[in-house]
Chains A and B, each alone.
Chain A
Amino acid sequence: MSELIEKIGICVERGKVNKASPFPPDMKGLDGADEYTKLAIEAKTSADAILQACNDGMQRVGEKFGKNLVFVPELLMAAKAMHAVMAHLKPFFQSGTVKTKGTFILGTVAGDLHDIGKNLVSMVIEGNGWKVIDLGVDVKAPRFIQKISENPGCVVGLSALLTTTIANMANTIKEIKTTSPTTKVIVGGAPLTAGSAQEMGADGYARDPQAAVALLNSIGVS
């Protein structure tokens, strides 16, 4: 059983989605995250243990990404493998057998349509065991506020890539903090620095998805 768990973690880390997937080449023709998760569930492995293996796999690939040892394609494949695992775990989430660490509401701020970085953050955080509500791009403050009210205790993540939308990010934080002062907001995106994030009133800045995970886990759920 522990062997299956280990294999699930490896498949997530390496981005091996299922048997049919030709990637990675050295695992061609072998079972992938999909098949191993099915087997693990049939062998009555606890959903928590499967989820943990998946989280560990995402954690490892996220760390490698932060060190430029793997790149966006490999991270995307890992996320696909993670989703293959999650599809099997859905009934356990629905029944409450397994719990997420909390809810993370994420979006690219108003006026900004860049989403590659945000999507990676979303995948890695989901892989770390959080429920992620991705509001997409060009998200205006009222939409964040509405979602916050529907998800008490959530943490919010804002992404921006344009200098012109940094002001929208600052305004969004201000509006969130006005209506919901206890909600924690973290930010990221190439134009930002820890200093600028602090100036605009964010509770934290993350340079990459792995740093966002660390930040989120340290902030926790209010």
Chain B
Amino acid sequence: MLSLKENVVETLKNGNPDSFVNGWEPFPQVWDPVFFYMFPVAPGLTAVNPWGTTIHWGVNEPGVMPIINEENKVCPDITEWRKYCKAPDIENISLDWSEAKSAAEKIRAENKFVMCWNVTGVFESLHFLMGFEDTLCNFLIQPDAMHDLIAYITDFKIKQIRLLIENLSCDMIMFHDDWGSKYSLFMDPDTWREFFKEPYRKIYGLMKEHGVITMHHADSYCQPIVVDMVDVGIDIWQGVLPSNDIQQIKKDTGGKLTLMGGIDAHLVDCENWDEAVVRGEVARACREYHDGGCFIPCLTYGGELCIYPGVKEIIMDEVRNQNQIYFSGS
């Protein structure tokens, strides 16, 4: 029987895993101090992050929302972005890594991979600075300034990743950047290539240089750019929605991209969730996406928690059941 880590490695190289990688099980997340510095909020609080963006976490809401309007947007004029956008000097602030380091050691002792989380991605950073509509329109009307700002944000992300690697020697980094909605990319695939492909090659290139397994979260329809995702160095696309043609993506990427997701969150993680429906959806995902390997059954959220208590446990239990069907000897 393979260890949890060996099983991940086999899955990533489309070799011979002996079971499904069960969601996030082999790579628990370590919360790092840069993350807390960048997101100084808790449920019920509103704060301004170090870039100047107002963020809010509503009580009973599953996560943080930037609040951007004409009065408070950090970058009201992209042509003057240098005046408005000042990257936080994360290399020269004092951060306490002790808790993150001991969490990482504990994970290592369990023979699991240490995974760090990196939000917000380059596109998300743009819309945190100027709002969604300005971001998308500026690709078309101010492309030069957008390229410059993207390069500036990419440099900041590179510094952030270096800190994670230096301090935690993490095995994996999950980089969060949603590039689309359920049925389409936010932008033309060529626009994505023009603005994001090279910055991401740098970001994932740095991780690869340090032997880090690269995971990109986008719970979006990204089918038109999957080959580009491989080109820039992504090992795992986490969040792959069932609205993508997952089997076609495997053909297009030839075993070079592991797809993590496939379970429809809207169907299973809802107020009146039903155990039979949850198990049925997990079984469907395993049945439809197991062939050809490179698949990790999982909800499409960019983290291991579910919104409704109990759902995660049923999903994981059903994945174990499915092992009996698809992996002889499990």
| Per-position binary interface string of chain A over residues 112-142, scored 1 when its CB falls under 8 Å from any chain B CB and 0 otherwise | 0100110100000000000000000000000
Q: Which residues of A contact B270 (CB under 8 A)?
A: 163, 166
Shortest C-beta distance, B184 to chain A (Å), equals 5
Interface mask (B182-197 → A, CB under 8 Å = 1, otherwise 0):
1111111001000000
Query: Does chain B have a CB within 8 A of A190?
Result: yes
Per-residue CB proximity of A176-219 to B under 8 Å, as 1/0?
A: 00000000000000110000000000000001100000000000
Contacts of A24 in B (CB 8 A): 140
Chain A: CB-nearest residue to B141: A23
Asked whether A164 lies within 8 Å of B61 as measured between CB atoms, the reply is yes
Asked whether B266 lies within 8 Å of A163 as measured between CB atoms, the reply is: yes
Interface residue count for B (Cβ, 8 Å)? 28
| Cα of A150 to Cα of B118 in the assembled complex, Å | 47
| Cα(A167)–Cα(B272), bound, Å | 10
> Is B33's CB within 8 Å of the partner chain A?
no
Say whether A22 contacts B141, CB under 8 Å: yes
Interface SS of chain B: helix, strand, loop or mixed? loop
B100 within 8 A of A: no
Query: Once the chains bind, are B137 and A73 in contact (CB under 8 Å)?
Result: yes
CB-CB < 8 A to A208: which residues of B? 183
| Minimum C-beta distance from B1 to chain A (A) | 36
Asked whether A77 lies within 8 Å of B187 as measured between CB atoms, the reply is no
- Determine the distance from Cα of A70 to Cα of B140 in the docked complex, in whole angstroms: 12
Complex Cα distance A24/B140, Å?
Answer: 8
> Are A163 and B269 interface neighbours, CB within 8 A?
yes
Query: Cα distance A117–B184 when bound, in Å?
Result: 12
In whole angstroms, how far apart are the Cα atoms of A9 and B188 in the complex? 22
The answer for the CA separation of A77 and B140 in the assembled complex, in Å, is 9
- Chain A interface size, as a band, is 20 to 34
Does any Cβ of B come within 8 Å of A30's Cβ?
A: no
- Interface residue A4 (Cβ < 8 Å from any Cβ of B): no
Pick from A116, A117, A166 the residue with the most CB of B within 10 Å.
Answer: A116
Given known pairs A80-B137, A119-B133, the reply for A73 and B187 (CB within 8 Å) is yes
Tell me the bound Cα distance from A24 to B307 in angstroms.
43
Flag whether A68 is at the interface (Cβ < 8 A). yes
Measured CB to CB, the nearest residue on chain B to A167 is B271
Check B269–A71 contact: CB distance below 8 A: no
- CB of B61 within 8 A of CB of A111, answer yes
Report Cα–Cα, A77/B183, bound state, in Å: 20
A22 and B140 CA atoms in complex are apart in Å by 8
In the complex, the answer to whether A190 meets B181 with C-beta atoms within 8 Å is: yes
Q: What 4 A-B pairs have minimum CB-CB distances, sorted nearest first?
A: A73-B136, A191-B266, A190-B182, A23-B140
